Amino acid sequence: MLQNYLKIALRNLLKNKTFSFINIAGLAVGLASTMLLALWVLDEYSFENFQEKRDVLFQGKRNFKESETSIWTSSSQSGNTAEYIRKNFPEVKNAVLTDWGNNVTISYGEKSLKKTWFSVETPFFEMFTFPFVQGSAKTAFIDVNSVVLTESMAKSLFGDEDPMNKLVKINLKHSLKVTGVLKDLPKNTRFNFDYLTSIKFLDSIGETYYGWSANNFQLWVELRPDANLEAVNKKMLKVYKSNADGFSNGDLFLYPLSRLRLFNKFNNGVESGEGLNSLVSLFSIISIVILVIACINFMNLSTARSEKRAKEVGVRKVTGATRGSLISLFLSESLLITILAFGLAILMVTLLLPAFNDLIGKQLTIPFGNINYVLGAIILVLFTGFMSGSYPAFFLSSFKPIKVLKGTMQLGRGASLPRKILVVIQFCFSIVLIIFTILVYQQIRFGQNQPLGYDQKNLMYFEMPGEMYKQFTPMKQDLLASGVVMSAYSTNQPMNATGNNSWGYEWKGQKPEQKNQIFDNVRVTLDFLKTTGIKLKEGRDYSPQFMADTIHSVLVNEAAVKAMGLKNPLGEIIRRQRDGNYTIVGVLQDFVFGNPFEDKQPMMVQLMPDSQSASNVVLRLNPQKSATECLEKISTIFKKYESVAPFDYEFVDTEFEKKFSKETLLRNLAYLFGGLAIFVSCLGLFGLASFMAERRTKEIGIRKVLGASISGIVMMLSKDFLKLVGIATIVSFPIAWWLGNKFLEYYPKHINFAWWIFAVSGIMAGVIALLTVSYQAIKAAVANPVKSLRTE
Amino acid sequence: MLQLKNIFRWYNSGANRAFVLRDVSLEIQKGEFVSIMGPSGSGKSTLLHVLGMMDEPNEGQYLFLDNNVLNIKEKQRAELYKKHIGFVFQAYHLIDELTVYENIETPLLYHGFNSSERKSMVADVLDRFNIVGKKDLFPNQLSGGQQQLVGIARAVITKPDLILADEPTGNLNSKQGEEIMDLFKTLNQEGVTIVQVTHSEKNAAVGSRIVNLLDGRVV
């Protein structure tokens, strides 16, 4: 029986090559897009799944009340929390601090590499599943001056040598003994360190500070299996309050490790649902939509061709076929087509995966060997085959044999209505995607074209490894003398890099709730304004004339003046318990420092002496000189002061571009899948148009004999389809409006929905549809009527 | 074998009823060869479809081998039809995508014969109808007479007791027509009951009885 079905299906496929191509190609594109997205989505959901204790691991978060209306959620904690929690929380099995990780030079002999350095407390290895290949968790950090490497780190530093007990240098100054090698980290973890040291080591070199008002550590907690998170979190709220040292330091709470990847976005202290998961679910929906569009094509073309199949249905019924057996006949046909399409889709995915990986910045592979994926693929094929075949199967099998066999069957207007509705739905999807794509593109452009408030071009920075900062003054002189550098300063934070902030300041006229006002802190040496091109709004820049600037002066930005509510900011004093008093000597015009889509944050810029430890040098390059020449000369000067560490530099404008990575990803995916959706819809439209033209051959012949012009006939044939696209356009507008605004709300600073976006997308859809349909329409219109009438 | 009692069949067109069959009563014995004649629109085909259980009358009674056809369940009716009736069409109605062999095999699939049974049954019929050489051809490669031969072969392969033929020679030239009628005659002599609709007096004469229809009535 099945063999007979498949035979018929194959012969039908070969007989109607256009329809077969449209169906198979369309379904293949739909399946391929679903598979690509599925690979991505499953990868996102697999984050931290390998952690054996994933269900009991939590990150410490804290909610910080900035003002009456805004709560800021942070992951940084005071270093005292871990010890306190270990002592006072019986529900907690383990609690450890880690730092935030830095790219720091690690060297062995001649070899020097810049890799990610991360510091942890020993129980870290009990909590997280990062197994040792050499050495053990117990012994790794007995000696403070120890370092644990990942396997590939060890390999690139030591080659085939045994790394154990060898001495390496971190940041060119700290000698540490290798006491362990970890298996390389899986890709689907948030941790990305290359080597680990103990927090105790950081203590020993004086790079830690423990105070209840500090916020410089990450906190990781393992609860006992029987602990109740809600109850624990209720107690956690009091951790900072019961250790207040005059500041209000926020409310600690635990957040599941398993949610960090996808849901880690907070709005006023609660998970906002706007994390990566929103992107993931958006594109999951879109990929399913594309598959549905392809299935709709199949349904449309099958039912459109139903008159041709009707006779077969009649004959089969007369020879004893039941409706059930006919339904299985048609379903096995659609299943066969789906299987062929699936084969093609696998091929497409294999070919497209490298490009797709580039697009989303991952290294996904097709897991052919994974039984779960194979099962998933089988379910996908069955589902698609059934979905695309069900309507035609039930529709076709319902024909009454005497009607179809006597040739009196007229499907008439009623029968084509579902088809029209399906076309409208398809184009609705496509138009919504067009609008969405335009919006994303506009929003990114908006972010990129914002007035920055400083001059990004020819601005670069490099890192000063080790103790290079001690020689900053002579190096600066060398740089300026080289002719390629116009101006330079050193800083703890180059442009674009936020992350250092503090609170607890007081000023005149401060409201009580403003004690928690958070300020971004940037520390710079002289020539900050000259180098960056940031403008002064009032007051003066730092200057060597004023000796006290390094201790008693501060520059603030406009946002800070606004936040503090100062009328005449110049000369006002900002006080902080531990640090002392600062006089505002100048106000900077607002400039983009962090996220370009967020409102400008209040900021303080403080002057530090050249000799103070700073991590980076920011340079304004001479625009007259080529970039290669500049880099060459700067690199030579760098080498003069530091012969071992690599010269590691960034251009501010390329770094700025990286802030749009999520938006760029969104845009690229929207382009790709929007394009695919439109392509598949057009395939379907093309098929329908060719069917219509075929069906109306006789009518067209008669009209031509009666004197209709070719253009008139093309118009007549295209009009029907354009009407459908028109309806789709109107239906899609409110949907796109709602979706688009939801997307824009995500950005504090965003473009407005412009009416022309609707106009453009409507016209685009119309033109695409017209181009698709007109080929068939013209072909039908120019055909010789004598021929078409004779064939009747 | 079967008995129609006071059969009415009508269509509603607007407020009027258009009668196709009016008060038709008819009894057909096993082994008969009945020809139904009448002008176009007299209800011949409808009568044949009612006999073949493909159309339901609006009124009346239909007994087929002691089964009250109009009162039994759809499924039982389908079984009854499948077991006892074969249909032959004026336009042959072969499935274009299937070869001669496969067309003849199709009913066997729905009757649940297994593969080897099907093979021998189809081989028998091909042999008997002298179309062994044509078995791998597709319908559009055959002449009209050959196609109708295949159509009849398909109808008889399940060994029905009753063959209903709707103008079986209507699309054929006279020589082909004669051959088909000869075939029906042979089948009838083997015990198969045959009911044919025809316009041709000559073909009607082949049968054992003629039923004349005019405006939906037996005359």
Q: Name residues whose C-beta falls within 8 Å of residue A643's C-beta, 6 or more positions apart in sequence.
A: none
Q: Which of B20, B80, B106, B167 to mutate to test the interface with A (most CBs of A within 10 A)?
A: B106
Give yes or no for a contact between B148 and B172, defined as CB atoms under 8 angstroms apart: yes
Nearest CA among A251, A234, A172, A319 for reference residue A646 = A172
Instruction: State how many domains chain A has.
Output: 2
Would you give the DSSP letter of residue A77? B
B residues 135-154 closer than 8 Å to A (CB)? 154
CA–CA gap between residue A583 and residue A650 (Å, rounded) = 33
CB contact under 8 A, A319 and B54: no
Instruction: Say how far residue B191 (Cα) sits from the centre of its chain.
Output: 15
Residue A554 sits in which domain range? 467-641
- Give dist(CA B54, CA B62) in Å, integer: 13
| Neighbouring-strand partners of residue A266 | A271
pLDDT at residue B10 tops 60:
yes
**Chain A touched by B107 (CB under 8 Å):** yes
Distance in angstroms (rounded) separating the CA atoms of residues A263 and A10: 48
Q: Which of A4, A8, A318 to mutate to test the interface with B (most CBs of B within 10 A)?
A: A318
CA distance A390 to A385: 8
| B209-214/B33-37 β-pairing | parallel
Chain B contact present for A594, CB below 8 A:
no
Put simply, the answer to whether A405 touches B93 (Cβ < 8 Å) is yes
Correct CATH for B31-54+78-218 of 3.30.110.30, 3.40.640.10, 3.40.50.300, 1.10.3730.10: 3.40.50.300
* Averaged pLDDT of chain B: 90
Q: Which residues of B touch A311 (CB under 8 A)?
A: 93, 95
Residue A754 lies in a domain: no
Q: Give the C-alpha separation, A720 to A416, whole Å.
A: 12
pLDDT of residue A300: 84
Contact predicate A453/A534, CB 8 Å = yes
The answer to whether A323 contacts chain B (CB < 8 Å) is no
Give the tens place of pLDDT for each residue, B147-172.
999 999 999 999 999 999 988 988 88
A14 in contact with B, Cβ within 8 Å: no
B164 to chain A, minimum CA–CA distance in Å? Answer: 11
Write out chain B residues lying below 8 Å of A11, CB-based: 97-98
Domain boundary among A641, A660, A695: A641
**A6 reaches B (C-beta below 8 A):** no
Structure tokens at A472: 């900053």
Q: Do B91 and A405 touch (CB under 8 A)?
A: yes
Gap between the Cα atoms of A142 and A82, Å rounded: 19
3-state helix, strand, coil in chain B (%, to 5): 40, 25, 30
Residue whose C-alpha is closest to residue A523's, from A654, A655, A611, A620: A611
Residues pairing with A119 in the sheet: A197
Ranges of residues in chain A whose predicted pLDDT is under 70: 245-247, 407-415, 498-499, 788-792
Report the chain A residue with the minimal C-alpha distance to residue B56: A402
Query: pLDDT value at position A792?
Result: 37
> What's the distance, CA B36 to chain centroid?
12
Inter-chain touch A315–B93, beta carbons under 8 Å: yes
Chain B residues with CB under 8 Å of A407 CB are 91
Which tokens in the block code for residue A475?
Answer: 């190096």
The single-letter DSSP state of residue A217 is: B
CB count in 10 Å sphere of residue A654: 10
pLDDT, tens digit, for every residue of B178-211? Answer: 888 999 999 999 999 999 999 888 999 989 999 9
Domain boundary among A215, A248, A281: A248
Rounded CA gap, A437 and A672, in Å?
Answer: 10
pLDDT at res. B127: 92
Q: In A556-696, which ranges are continuous DSSP H helix?
A: 558-564, 627-641, 652-658, 661-695
The pLDDT value recorded for residue A245 is 64
Q: Which residues pair with A499 in a beta bridge?
A: none
CA distance B189 to chain A (A): 23
CA distance A375 to A109: 51
**A1 interface with B at CB cutoff 8 Å:** yes
Tell me whether residues A318 and B82 touch, CB distance under 8 A.
Answer: no
The rounded distance, in Å, linking the Cα atoms of A608 and A614 is 9
**What would the two tokens of residue A153 be?**
């780190």
What the block records as the tokens of A752 is: 């407005």
Tokens of B183: 């075939």
Query: Shortest CB distance from B106 goes to which of A311, A316, A401?
Result: A316
In this complex, which of B97, B102, B105 lies closest to A15 when CB atoms are compared?
B97
- Chain A contact set for B98 (CB, 8 A): 7-8, 11
The counts of H helices and E strands in chain B are: 7, 10
Among the partner-chain residues A314, A325, A407, the one whose CB lies closest to the CB of B110 is: A325
| Optimal mutation site among A305, A315, A317, A406, interface B, most CBs of chain B within 10 A | A315
What are the start-end ranges of the H helices in A450-515? 472-481
Q: What is the 3-state secondary structure (H, E, C) of B177-209?
A: HHHHHHHHHHHHHCCCEEEEECCCHHHHHHCCE
A308 touches chain B (CB under 8 A): no
Structure tokens that stand for A46 in this block: 């697999």
Task: Please tell me the distance from the alpha carbon of residue A781 to that of residue A164, in angstroms, as a whole number.
Answer: 82
Task: With CB atoms and an 8 Å threshold, state whether B89 touches A405.
Answer: yes
Which residues of chain B neighbour A397 with C-beta distances below 8 Å? none
Closest approach of chain A CAs to the CA of B108, in angstroms? Answer: 9
B19 at A interface, C-beta within 8 A: no
**Which residues in chain A have their CB less than 8 angstroms from residue B140's CB?**
none
Query: Does any domain span residue A614?
Result: yes
Q: Is B7 helix (H, G, I), strand (E, B) or coil?
A: strand
Beta-carbon-side half-sphere exposure of residue B26 (alpha carbons within 13 Å): 27
DSSP assignment of A347-399, as one string?
A: HHHHHHHHHHHHHHT------TT-HHHHHHHHHHHHHHHHHHHHHHHHHHTT-
Interface test with A, best of B51, B81, B98 (most A CBs within 10 A): B98
Catalogue the E-assigned strands of A283-363.
Answer: none
Last residue of a domain, one of A623, A641, A659: A641
Nearest residue on chain A to B49, alpha-carbon basis: A402
Cβ contact B93–A314 (<8 Å): yes
